Amino acid sequence: MSSNGRQQLSAEICARIVRSLGSVARRGPGDLAALCRTCKAFQREAEVRLYDALYLSDPARAHLACTTVSANERLALLVRTFCFTVETRRPLTHSFWLVVKHALDQMHNLEHLVLYDSTFANGWVLEPTQIRFQLRDAKLRFMWDAQLVAFLEGQRKLQSLHTFDRLDDTNRVPPAPGSLPLLRNFDGTLMVGMQLLDSPLTHLQMMVDREMLPSLAGLLPRLRSVHKTLRSLSLLDVPEDLVAETSAILASVCPNLVYLGLIPLPPIHRHDFYHSLLKMHSLRCIQLDVLAWSPHPNIHAQRAIAIEMRVYCPSIHHVVFWIGQTRFRWQFVDDAQEWHSHVDTHQYPQFDNMWSLAWT
């Protein structure tokens, strides 16, 4: 009981009430912000949850949050997740990105970073000399240049990296050998992915741009260096006329893949592709693009193709067909010895996350 006769809430009760509100990502910061203004006991507990994860999409709110964090060391140390994504035609000012940099320099306990720059030009905010955090995962939209590489070389605990890069830039700087010793997942361009094969990658998704198509057959054999660890491989935008050659190379250098996508399945003359499947004894899931088929395969045709796949590769239990933005998922049920299907609409192959799952 306090001196004025009012009972004080214990820290444990305040913490329970704060936890009952759920995550900021799901409910937003409003309820937690209101609790901060209720009393000191609630403020202490609510601030821990409020600043643990900052999800920002409005530049004005991001500027305010970064200004607050950079001016308060106690709050800065609470931040473990920082996410700023915005799509705008008007470039954000240098002063805005400077505020972001000052805030990042103070977030010593940051573990998860999502940072998008629509101009790709402000990678200097990750200049590593003042940064003390060690990330576990990062999604970054910046030019892949010496500045970004210098930052990544200091992230010794990084396990997952997703980069958005300008496809027209071919002068990409490779990181120093051994600089990303824990990196398991990468999602980005083919050229960047090929520069990370010194890491023990288990899951890899790479966008193949047109300029790299003539070099694809020469680059893919490099995956042999990670064949002992690599279990999931997704190649986006490989043309149909390169499927036979690409699948043959992958079957040779990465025969232990558990997941493979996104293959544009030829409507006829599929025997070369199926011959490659014969060598992949661990494959559990395969994603196929059949948009170019005319007519598109209906449910009965899809089941027939899935059955055909298991003839050549009996380990396959999941076959996914993509027709534009519609995803048809087929799963083989061992007990029933039959295929079950599910349809998902308004999906996008480049944002599909099946490649990143822990397939067993």
Confidence of residue 2 (pLDDT cuts 50, 70, 90): very low
Q: For the residues 294-301, what does the mean pLDDT come to?
A: 96
Higher pLDDT, 83 or 2: 83
What per-residue confidence (pLDDT) applies to 50? Answer: 81
Q: Residue 295: is the preceding peptide bond cis (ω within 30°)?
A: yes
pLDDT single digits (tens) 154-196: 999 999 999 998 766 656 788 999 999 999 999 999 999 999 9
Instruction: Determine the pLDDT at residue 238.
Output: 95
pLDDT band of residue 4 (cuts 50, 70, 90) is very low
Q: Please name the residue ranges forming H helices in the chain.
A: 11-20, 24-27, 30-36, 40-52, 59-71, 73-76, 94-106, 146-153, 190-194, 216-219, 243-253, 271-277, 299-312
Q: How confident is the model at residue 315 (pLDDT cuts 50, 70, 90)?
A: very high
Give the CB-side neighbour count of residue 117, counting CA atoms within 13 A: 22
- In this model, does residue 37 exceed pLDDT 80? no
Do 314 and 286 contact (CB within 8 A), yes or no? no
The mean pLDDT of the chain is 89
CA distance 142 to 17: 40
pLDDT digits (tens, 9 = 90+) for 203-215: 999 999 888 899 9
pLDDT tens profile 266-291: 998 899 999 999 999 999 999 999 99
pLDDT of 25 reads: 47
- Specify whether the CB–CB gap between 278 and 304 falls below 8 A: no
Please report which confidence band the pLDDT of residue 333 belongs to, taking 50, 70 and 90 as the band edges: very high
Q: What percent of the chain has pLDDT over 70?
A: 86
pLDDT for res 46: 66
pLDDT surpasses 80 at 336 = yes
Q: What is the pLDDT of residues 124-158, one digit of tens each?
A: 999 999 999 999 999 999 999 999 999 999 999 99
**357, HSE (Cβ side, Cα atoms, 13 Å):** 14
DSSP structure class, residue 172: P
Cβ 84 vs Cβ 115: under 8 Å: yes
Find, among 222, 203, 219, 199, the residue nearest to 211 by Cα. Answer: 219
Query: What pLDDT is recorded for position 77?
Result: 95
Would you say residue 325 has pLDDT above 60? yes
The pTM of this model reads 0.88
> Residue 43's pLDDT is what?
56
Look at 67 and 12; give whichever has higher pLDDT.
67
Taking 90 as the threshold, does the pLDDT of residue 19 lie above it?
no
